[in-house]
């Protein structure tokens, strides 16, 4: 069944800060509403905006939060645990780099950090239920990412072992989301073991095709990988339950391509851009989401190496609104319907 995508929404992670209007949920919601946004995706780790523990335990806190947003005509689209999800699985090569995502007391202790991350995800399941949400955004983390390019040749069974361990860590979390009635949506993203369709399929099989194992679709990451972002929708639309609207461009040259040559973002061949400044076919994306009945939110995730974030946010709201397709309630050729019945149909086919 076709559905009209909800939106526009905005992911608050890139905008939250210590200065008004970005330092409280009330003021940032007022700012988002002034730009035309109807929903906000909340980063669950940002204490300036949200208290994950309280949301998991207190329906009253969640009611108050929704009331605060409602005063500005805003809803919660999803909660995000991208940072905590990353810590569910960290290869030792990245221990120090990712330690900053955990509380200071846990840094230098990978096991305690991982246990904290799992607990955070389980809190997020309950908080999402208390907020009346149906989807949740996260990262998978990565066991095998250092071995993404097969040189030296990967030992037999290495990838299978990595995904078995990744699945072992995530199954109890997926079960918690099943208990909460919420879809867990992994953003398919380089740096994660779930970074394209093939790796998602491998994980989905490893978790026994768990019904809560789903996808956050962000086409910008597919442009940078040179993966067909429209064909991805054709293949995986039954599992796509969340959507980041983010643009990107890929312009290879004689010096750099997909891997980027360790260059800063502005000099890479693949760069994230503000909406409309890149190469994502958003008319195609929104058409396919309408066709396949995507029932979730179109949420701006602003990342651009050139444009100011507030300009990107202002332009992004109108961009999303202009691309949402209000789906038709009747076929375009209904005016020509002849009103025939089964007997007439059989006569027309010569079998009456």
Q: Tell me: the pLDDT tens digits for 70-86?
A: 999 999 999 999 999 99
Digit-coded pLDDT (tens) for 138-169: 999 999 999 999 999 999 999 999 999 999 99
Separation between Cα atoms, residue 14 and residue 49, nearest integer Å: 13
Q: Which residues contact 46 (CB under 8 A, 6 or more apart)?
A: 12, 13, 16
Domain ranges of the chain: 6-348
pLDDT of residue 338: 66
C-alpha span between 46 and 38 (Å, rounded)? 21
Task: Write out the DSSP string of 53-92.
Answer: HHHHH-HHHHHHHHHHHHTTT-EEEEEEEHHHHHTTSB-G
Please give the structure tokens belonging to residue 256: 């750099």
Sign of CA dihedral 83, 88, 93, 95: positive
Token look-up 């906000």 returns 40
For the chain, the straight-line distance linking the first and the last C-alpha, in angstroms and rounded, comes to 33
CA dist 321 and 36 (Å) reads: 9
Q: Which CATH number fits domain 6-348: 3.90.1170.30, 3.20.20.150, 3.40.50.970, 3.30.460.10?
A: 3.20.20.150
Q: What is the pLDDT of residue 17?
A: 97
pLDDT reported for residue 26:
98
**Under-70 pLDDT residues of the chain:** 330-338, 352
Distance of CA 194 to the CA centre of its chain: 12
> Could you tell me if 233 and 267 are in contact, meaning their C-beta atoms sit under 8 angstroms apart?
no
**Confidence (pLDDT) at 329:** 76
Which pLDDT value is given to residue 335?
Answer: 57
Give the distance from CA 332 to its chain's centroid. 33
Tokens at residue 258, please?
């997909």
In whole angstroms, how far apart are CA 163 and each of 78, 82, 183, 261? 27, 19, 20, 28
pTM (2 decimals)? 0.95
CA angle at residue 148 from 147 to 154, to 5 degrees? 45
- In contact, 270 and 303? CB cutoff 8 Å: no
278: left (phi over 0), alpha (psi -120 to 50) or beta: beta
Residue 1's pLDDT is 85
Element (H, E) at 179: helix 158-180
Region of 208 (left: φ > 0; alpha: ψ -120 to 50; beta: rest) is: left
CA dist 248 and 269 (Å) reads: 10
User: Which residue(s) pair with 299 in the sheet?
Assistant: 9, 244
* Residue located via tokens 């002034």: 34
| Residue 206, both tokens | 């490893």
């Amino acid at each position: 069944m076709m559905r009209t995508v909800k939106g526009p929404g905005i992911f608050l992670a890139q905008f939250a800060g210590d200065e008004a209007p970005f330092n409280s949920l009330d003021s940032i919601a007022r700012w988002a509403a002034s730009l035309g946004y109807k929903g906000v995706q909340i980063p669950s780790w940002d204490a300036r905006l949200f208290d994950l523990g309280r949301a998991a335990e207190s329906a009253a806190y969640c009611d108050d939060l929704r009331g605060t947003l409602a005063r500005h005509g805003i809803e919660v689209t999803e909660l995000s645990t991208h940072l905590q999800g990353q810590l569910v699985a960290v290869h030792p090569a990245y221990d120090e780099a990712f330690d900053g995502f955990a509380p200071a007391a846990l840094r230098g202790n990978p096991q305690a950090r991982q246990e904290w991350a799992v607990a955070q995800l389980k809190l997020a399941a309950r908080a999402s239920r208390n907020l009346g949400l149906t989807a949740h955004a996260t990262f998978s983390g990565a066991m095998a990412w250092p071995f993404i390019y097969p040189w030296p040749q990967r030992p037999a069974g290495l990838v299978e072992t990595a995904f078995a361990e990744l699945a072992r860590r995530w199954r109890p979390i997926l079960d918690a989301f099943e208990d909460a009635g919420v879809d867990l949506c992994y953003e398919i993203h380089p740096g994660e073991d779930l970074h394209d369709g093939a790796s998602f399929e491998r994980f989905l099989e490893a978790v026994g095709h768990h019904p809560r194992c789903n996808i956050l679709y962000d086409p910008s990451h597919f442009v940078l990988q040179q993966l067909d972002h429209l064909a991805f929708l054709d293949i995986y639309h039954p599992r796509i339950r969340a959507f980041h609207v983010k643009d990107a461009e890929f312009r290879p040259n004689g010096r750099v391509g997909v891997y980027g040559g360790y260059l800063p973002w502005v000099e890479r061949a693949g760069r994230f851009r503000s909406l409309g400044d890149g190469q994502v076919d958003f008319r195609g994306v929104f058409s396919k989401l309408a066709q396949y009945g995507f029932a979730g939110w179109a949420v701006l995730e602003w990342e651009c190496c050139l444009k100011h974030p507030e300009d990107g946010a202002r332009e992004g709201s109108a961009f999303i609104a202009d691309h949402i397709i209000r789906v038709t309630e009747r076929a375009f050729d209904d005016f020509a319907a002849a009103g025939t019945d089964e007997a007439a149909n059989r006569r027309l086919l010569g079998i009456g």
